[in-house]
Structure 1
Amino acid sequence: MSTPFHRRSFPDYFLSSPLATLIYPLHQLLNHLRGPPHLPPPNARPIRVVCISDTHTLEYPDIPDGDLLIHAGDLCNDGSAREIQAAVNWLRSLPHPHKVVICGNHDSYFDPRSRLPEDRSDASPQNTSSSTYATISSSTASLRSLDDYLTDDPHPRIDWGDNDDIHYLQHSSITLTFPPTTTTSTSSISSTTPLRPRTLTIYGAPQIPAIVPFGPEHAFTYPPHHDAWSNTIPLSTDILVTHTPPQSRLDLSPVYSAGCPFLLSELWRVRPALHVFGHVHAAYGIERVFYDEAQRAWERLCASRKSRARLSRFRSLFGFLRDLFDLSGLVDSARVVMYGVLGVVWARVWGGENRDAGWVVNAACMYRDSGVLRNKPQVVVL
């Protein structure tokens, strides 16, 4: 039986909305033709960011080199401190000078209400009741760090390394500094040009919408109608790391969206240069996003067709017919194409700079639900 996390067949997409199905590849092509959405500043060193997620206790055998490694959650399967520590030990063995990790819904040790008995028996202060744990994140999606609640927690913490090998983020930020480098010019007289250092601010948050009935062992879940995102991400964020995707971006859209609309609204407010997530294995990939009228029109088109995902294939025929007479959908499709073409002309013909744009990466290494890490790590240069 299909779940919201499984990719549907092309006939399902086409019958649900032929308009969105045909516009999607054209929208992506126009975005690609506009060029990279974000380039290193002049005379500043480029930063190579390696993105992975959803390794589920497995170790990817060949992680590319880079300046920064990001893991966007689901390090393990059963959520125990034991499995998480094994995954952390693997990450510590990698040579990247900076590493940032958030947890996912399978990493239940980090959410007190979801901890396994083997971790909870020692983790709970004697005067803390189970009802207290339930109030920590059921309604707020744990919008504060775990340390804010359990400052007296005697459970041995995860060993992240003696020299801050790994920066663990849970509704928190960190600013990392990347030292200057030099480049050698290719001229008759060899010379070196210093490249100034860079800093990047990274914010990480683990909460996910419970679009299916998740059990209590799943961490940081919130009802899909609950807004767990508005005004939570600092405006200074250069790189955003979440476990859930936003709605309509590498979340199996169009139509069969598994992402969060409230996170999407927050992205329009913050507009990070890079957004890394996972969770929906079947939507693995990388996209360019330009915060303009073409993107707004595309997202409206996706949102207006999301309700059709619940229809059977037979009833989806009515969605096919509705597209023929959907004036607002036709207008939005035309806006996607028109503003997309204008963006290409601006960047390629007039030489204009791409602003208010960024990379979006679904870095799930797990290939669908196969139990095998077949999706390669994604590399982005900022």
Structure 2
Amino acid sequence: MTSPFNRRHFPDYFLASPLAAALYPLHHLLCRLRGPPHLSPPDARPIRVVCISDTHTLEWTDIPDGDLLIHAGDLANDGSVREIQASIDWLRTLPHPHKVVICGNHDSYFDVRSRLAEDRDDPKSSSYAAVSSSTASLHSVDDPVSRIDWGDIHYLQHSSVTLTFPPPSTIAATAAEASTTRSRSLTLYGAPQVPAIVPFGPEHAFAYPPHHDAWSGTVPRNTDILITHTPPQAHLDLSPVYSTGCPYLLAEAWRVRPALHVFGHVHAAYGMERIYWDEAQRAWERLCAARRRRARNSRLGSLFGFVRDLLDLTGWVDAARVLGYGVMGVVWAKVWGGENRGSGWMVNAACMYRDSGKLGNKPQIVVL
């Protein structure tokens, strides 16, 4: 059976839902035509954010310069302190003024329930296995001792940090930057939990059943940048049919509406999307959610996707809303000169190229 983390061939998407397969490129084309979803304040210099994830003990040899570096988890493979510290040591050598890291499901040291025996205070203790079997507890058991030397890196685990970005120095500033005098602050929130859409072993950190709501009300409303390991449903998660993202995380993103949401986990869904938090996006997400259950069908069962789409009046209405509101957004931005306020980006920053074991996806850059 094909892994749910691998991208399917186009015929699979088309057979499961011809409507969604045809609408997908049109929706994203309209999003691109609308222009930047977020603009920097006119009296402060732009903040260059470099996004990476899923390096799995490997080191990207040429990380772009920026004001902020974000790593969205899976620093390691076996989750040991040895591997994690080696990755942290590499990140510490990078010149970015601010660095923020969360863990992923492979970074098991950060979840006491999932630690390797070599990293436990008492390797013979069986209490960890009992805790690991509890699917309700998503936060790590309290552990006051950390063996990781973080240096200048901010580690977030269900927590926030507010970073200040001063104006450029007059010596190094360009003519355009010289007129910007105001400092800027951004609040970042990071959380590692991932839905176990396949049976994860106890070595996987912060896994929860896919039907469990692990997100509602957890992200502070003042969050500018949201960092998670899992993607939200219907965005850079192999959607529209074979979606691996979390619907509860998507609902939480709608509540908070961050300017930037960085994640990884699904290597094959690497990329960047513009997010406008409007009726076009809401209709697209409804259409994707309605087709998600078709991912469980065999290829033979997917042959009926055409018939189901043909008779799905709600799907056709949502498709019309995606196109109609999308065109209105383009007219608003390009003809009337309106700004896209309160919008942003979603970035799947997985550097690992699919399941090749090699880093092949370049770091992503977003300017806020």
> Is TM-score (shorter-chain normalized) higher than 0.5?
yes
Give 3-state SS (helix, strand or coil) of 1:194's partner.
coil
**Pairwise mapping of residues 205-244 of structure 1 onto structure 2 (< 5 A)?**
205-244=191-230
Q: Cα offset for 1:193?
A: 1.7
Q: Cα offset for 1:338?
A: 0.2
**Pairwise mapping of residues 137-152 of structure 1 onto structure 2 (< 5 A)?**
138-142=135-139, 146=140, 149-151=142-144
Q: Cα offset for 1:131?
A: 6.2
Q: Cα offset for 1:85?
A: 0.3
Residue pair 1:206, 1:242 contacting (<8 A) in 2 also? yes
Q: Does structure 1 residue 175 correspond to structure 2 residue 157?
A: no
Query: Residues 47 and 192 of structure 1: is their aligned pair in 2 closer, same or farther, counting only changes over 3 Å?
Result: closer
For the residues of structure 2 that align with 1:264 and 1:123, how far apart are their CA atoms? 38
For the residues of structure 2 that align with 1:347 and 1:18, how far apart are their CA atoms? 30
| Pick aligned residue for 1:333 from 319, 335, 347 | 319
1:288 maps to: 274
For the residues of structure 2 that align with 1:242 and 1:192, how far apart are their CA atoms? 35
Q: Does structure 1 residue 379 correspond to structure 2 residue 365?
A: yes
1:28 maps to: 28
- Which one-letter code corresponds to 1:167 in the other structure? H
Residue pair 1:50, 1:64 contacting (<8 A) in 2 also? yes
For the residues of structure 1 that align with 2:130 and 2:308, how far apart are their CA atoms? 49
- Which one-letter code corresponds to 2:220 in the other structure? P
Residue pair 1:184, 1:193 contacting (<8 A) in 2 also? no
2:132 maps to: 134
2:7 maps to: 7
Query: Residues 321 and 172 of structure 1: is their aligned pair in 2 closer, same or farther, counting only changes over 3 Å?
Result: same
Q: Cα offset for 1:150?
A: 2.0
Query: Residues 160 and 336 of structure 1: is their aligned pair in 2 closer, same or farther, counting only changes over 3 Å?
Result: same
Residue pair 2:112, 2:128 contacting (<8 A) in 1 also? no
1:114 maps to: 114
1:193 maps to: 179
Identity of aligned residues (%): 73
Q: Deviations over 1:346-372 (max 9, x none)?
A: 111111110231100000000000000
Q: Deviations over 1:64-115 (max 9, x none)?
A: 0000000000001000001000000000011111000000000000001100
Q: Deviations over 1:3-58 (max 9, x none)?
A: 11000000000000000001010000000011011111111111000000000000
Residue pair 2:37, 2:340 contacting (<8 A) in 1 also? yes
Cα root mean square deviation, aligned: 1.7
For the residues of structure 1 that align with 2:295 and 2:218, how far apart are their CA atoms? 29
2:62 maps to: 62
| Pick aligned residue for 1:250 from 220, 223, 236 | 236
2:148 maps to: 158
Query: Residues 102 and 123 of structure 1: is their aligned pair in 2 closer, same or farther, counting only changes over 3 Å?
Result: farther
For the residues of structure 2 that align with 1:169 and 1:238, how far apart are their CA atoms? 14
Residue pair 2:132, 2:202 contacting (<8 A) in 1 also? no
For the residues of structure 2 that align with 1:123 and 1:360, how far apart are their CA atoms? 40
Give 3-state SS (helix, strand or coil) of 2:179's partner.
strand
Q: Deviations over 1:223-244 (max 9, x none)?
A: 0000000000000000000000
Q: Does structure 1 residue 271 correspond to structure 2 residue 257?
A: yes
| Pick aligned residue for 1:299 from 285, 288, 293 | 285
For the residues of structure 1 that align with 2:135 and 2:69, how far apart are their CA atoms? 30
2:98 maps to: 98
- Which one-letter code corresponds to 1:306 in the other structure? R
Give 3-state SS (helix, strand or coil) of 1:100's partner.
strand
Q: Cα offset for 1:132?
A: 6.5
Residue pair 1:140, 1:228 contacting (<8 A) in 2 also? no
For the residues of structure 2 that align with 1:84 and 1:130, how far apart are their CA atoms? 20
For the residues of structure 2 that align with 1:109 and 1:95, how far apart are their CA atoms? 26
Give 3-state SS (helix, strand or coil) of 1:149's partner.
coil
1:47 maps to: 47
For the residues of structure 1 that align with 2:104 and 2:127, how far apart are their CA atoms? 25
Unaligned runs of 5+ in 2: none
- Which one-letter code corresponds to 1:158 in the other structure? I
TM-score, length-normalised on structure 2?
0.96
For the residues of structure 2 that align with 1:379 and 1:10, how far apart are their CA atoms? 28
Equivalenced residues, count: 365
Unaligned runs of 5+ in 1: none
Give 3-state SS (helix, strand or coil) of 2:180's partner.
strand
For the residues of structure 2 that align with 1:320 and 1:195, how far apart are their CA atoms? 57
